[in-house]
Amino acid sequence: MLSVGPGDHAVAFYQEDELAGLVGEYLQPAICGGGAAVLVATPEHRIQISSWLSGAGVDVAGAWAAGSYVLLDAGETMNRFIINGQPDAAAFWETISPVVAAAGSKPSPVRVFGEMVAVLWDAGLPDAAIELEALWNEISKQYAFTLLCAYPAAVMADDRHSDSVAQICCAHSAVVGAPPGSDKAWLPG
C-alpha cells in the first residue's frame, strides 16, 4: 500500500496492471473518510480505477453525486492550460484552483491523482511535464491536499531521459518504484 501523508506530492512508476489498484488504494481513504478524491486521468484509467473502487466496496456513483469523487479527463483538462506545448501558469491556476477549492470544502482528507504529466511525457513533452509538476507544487502552497502523480515505468526507462526523470523525482516528496532497468536510487530532492 502507498503511504502518503497530508500535503505530500508523491510520484509512482507503475506497470500497467498495477495502476488501478495503486490509485484506488490511494483514493479510497479520502472517499470513505468523508473527504474528497479528485481523479484526473485518461478515460480508460478512469474506468479501471472506478471499477477497482467499486469492487473494494466504494459507492462510486453516490460519492460522485455527493462531490466526494470528482472525475476529470486528463486531455480535456490540459486543453484548458497547455499553450504551444507548455503549461500556462495563470490558465493552470484558473483551471485547477476551483477543483481543489471545492474538494477542500469537504472535511479532510483531500487526495488528488493526476496523470496529465504522464500524458505530456508520452507526447514527447518531458519539459512540459516537469513544469506541470512545479505548478502542482505551487498550488499546494495555497490549498491543502495530497497529490499522487504516476508515470508508466516502461516509458521512463530510456537512458536518454535520465536527467528529466531525476528532475521529476526531485519535484516530489516521495517516490514509489523506479523505472525498469534502473540501477539508480531515485530519491526526492
| Predicted TM-score (pTM) of this structure | 0.88
For each of the domains in the chain, give its residue range(s) and CATH number, in order of start.
9-176 (3.40.50.300)
**From CA 132, how far away is CA 82, in angstroms rounded?**
9
Cell of 149: 502523480
pLDDT > 90? residue 153: no
**pLDDT digits over 82-114, tens only?**
999 999 999 999 999 999 999 999 888 999 999
**pLDDT digits over 6-27, tens only?**
778 888 888 888 899 999 999 9
3-state secondary structure of 173: coil
Q: How many CB atoms lie within 10 A of CB 82?
A: 22
- At 1 the pLDDT is 55
Q: Residue 122 CA to chain centroid, in angstroms?
A: 15
- At 188 the pLDDT is 41
